[in-house]
Amino acid sequence: MTPLPVLLDWLASHTDHETGSLGVSAGRIDGLDLDSMRSLMHILGDPQQAQPVIHITGTNGKGSVASMVTALLLAHGLTVGTASSPHLRSLNERVQRNAEPITDSELAEALDGVRSIEPLLDHTPTWFEIMVAASLRYFAEAPVDVAVVEVGLLGRFDATNVVDGAVSVVTSIGGDHTDFAEGWEAAVASEKAGILRPDGTAVLGEMNPDLWPLFSAEGPARLWCAGRDFDVADDRVAVGAHVVDIDGVYSLYPDVTVPLAGAHQTANAAVAVAATEAFFDRPLDPEAVTEAFASVRIEGRCEVVARHPLVVLDGAHNPDAAAALARTVNDEFAVIGSRHLLLGLLAGRDPDRFVDSAAAIRPDLVVCVPVGEGARRGDPAPLAAAWRRRGVAAESVGSIAAGLDRVRAAALEEDLIVVAGSFRLLDEARSFLAEGD
């Protein structure tokens, strides 16, 4: 078998839209189609057909819902494959079996299987197409009972949309991967609706009900909507958690502890329960639901990594996520000291829209850092300027390391440091700022 370092070099030689640039219009990313991905999967033997799939998209919340659905399926005795993106520290995190990243040798075997057939293709696959193909090939050969697959971009033309989801989930509709032109919300919803299948169940999270007909138009066998068919019946804030009553489609699940900060995570929990009910087409075992949520740990989502000062990491990178982060900070992270925000956004984000939402955090100091590579490298200067226009002390620095030094030097033990934006920033902040705990 080809050594993993050689395979990673081979993978890196392919176009990576996560570090490159794609043309963006209202709800559509130009330059994507499924023809090449379908050809790739066909030559691999169509491994995406080997097991049922729960397919998950959404502007925000899809990673959290994928983790929760995985936990619920595991608690009901199934072997589960999970394909997600992006990763925090290791590429292996993108391909998991029973909530554990695959080993280096398993990753090498999965990648080598795709590399070996590349000469048979009439096109060169992208970095993400290779990773999706390797994930689905691994799930087919492991094997797993069910695959939970997270969309990369939007849905309709995403590489993951070669799967036929028995259950398709749309967690939310927000302003990401769009130019905010007139009609953008419906355009984004239409693109995400592209993962729905005529013989499947569609589960929609909290969104404008006016968008529901766009999903109905795709012809799913069943359409379950948050607020109409399922909901969070009650939400009590606990220390570092929420205790909720989830009113599912088939049953009520009372007193479920969701060990995550943020009311948005309780909404995600309700979506995950409904999606799992749809998969089994029956009520869930209440004890399994309790067990599943007790096991959920999601890094980079209002994650506390230190207490003195209090350090919270969150991957908020768009206005809706920034608003959710601000609500959580104000509702669940009371501090007597100052608030410091370390922020890094990729290129293509609108600084003013983000700051409009994030301003509710009420930071005393904002330090903006560059993140990303190549065409997606974000310039921190316009972001800092957007904060200063709102009367907030803000500065930009030349590196993540410099930003970490700055906020750590400024923060006292009774203060709060919020680190938000890029996963790369969160990863470096975890190892640097957690040292003071």
Q: Please report the pLDDT score of residue 437 as a whole number.
A: 44
What are the C-alpha distances in Å from 397 to residues 15, 230, 347, 368, 373?
29, 46, 16, 6, 16
Same domain, 273 and 319: no
Same domain, 210 and 346: no
**Structural domain boundaries, residue 70:** 4-294
CB 362 within 8 A of CB 341: no
Total count of residues recorded for the chain: 437
What are the C-alpha distances in Å from 303 to residues 297, 312, 420, 427?
9, 5, 11, 12
Same domain, 122 and 66: yes
CB 420 within 8 A of CB 314: yes
State how many domains the chain has.
Answer: 2
Same domain, 187 and 79: yes
Summarised one tens digit per residue, pLDDT across range 376-409 is 899 999 999 999 999 999 999 999 999 999 999 9
Positive or negative, the CA dihedral 66, 72, 74, 80 is negative
What is the Cα–Cα distance from 218 to 225, expressed in whole angstroms? 15
Which two three-digit tokens encode residue 433? 């700022």
Same domain, 273 and 345: no
Same domain, 207 and 101: yes
CB 273 within 8 A of CB 51: no
Same domain, 254 and 111: yes
Q: Please report the pLDDT score of residue 177 as a whole number.
A: 54
Q: Please report the pLDDT score of residue 396 as a whole number.
A: 98
Q: Please report the pLDDT score of residue 316 as a whole number.
A: 94
Lowest mean pLDDT among 15-24, 65-74, 85-94: 15-24
H helices of 29-76, where? 35-43, 62-75
Last residue of a domain, one of 294, 328, 343: 294
What burial class does residue 35 get, using C-beta atoms within 10 Å of its C-beta: 0-12 exposed, 13-18 middle, 19+ buried?
Answer: exposed
Same domain, 223 and 332: no
What burial class does residue 385 get, using C-beta atoms within 10 Å of its C-beta: 0-12 exposed, 13-18 middle, 19+ buried?
Answer: middle
- Span 336-345, mean pLDDT? 97
Q: Please report the pLDDT score of residue 334 as a whole number.
A: 85
What is the Cα–Cα distance from 193 to 195, expressed in whole angstroms? 5
Q: Please report the pLDDT score of residue 55 as a whole number.
A: 99
Same domain, 279 and 351: no
Same domain, 290 and 307: no
Summarised one tens digit per residue, pLDDT across range 110-123 is 999 999 999 999 99
Last residue of a domain, one of 262, 277, 294: 294
What is the Cα–Cα distance from 14 to 133, expressed in whole angstroms? 14
400 φψ region: left (φ > 0), alpha (ψ -120 to 50), beta (else): alpha
- State the chain's mean pLDDT as an integer: 94
Same domain, 319 and 282: no
Of the pLDDT bands very low, low, confident and very high (cuts 50, 70, 90), residue 16 is: confident
What is the Cα–Cα distance from 332 to 231, expressed in whole angstroms? 22
Widest Cα–Cα separation across the chain: 63
- Span 77-96, mean pLDDT? 96
Looking up residue 240, the CATH number of its domain turns out to be 3.40.1190.10
Same domain, 270 and 336: no
Looking up residue 409, the CATH number of its domain turns out to be 3.90.190.20
Q: Please report the pLDDT score of residue 176 as a whole number.
A: 64
**Residue 99 is which amino acid?**
A
Q: Please report the pLDDT score of residue 167 as a whole number.
A: 99
Last residue of a domain, one of 267, 294, 321: 294
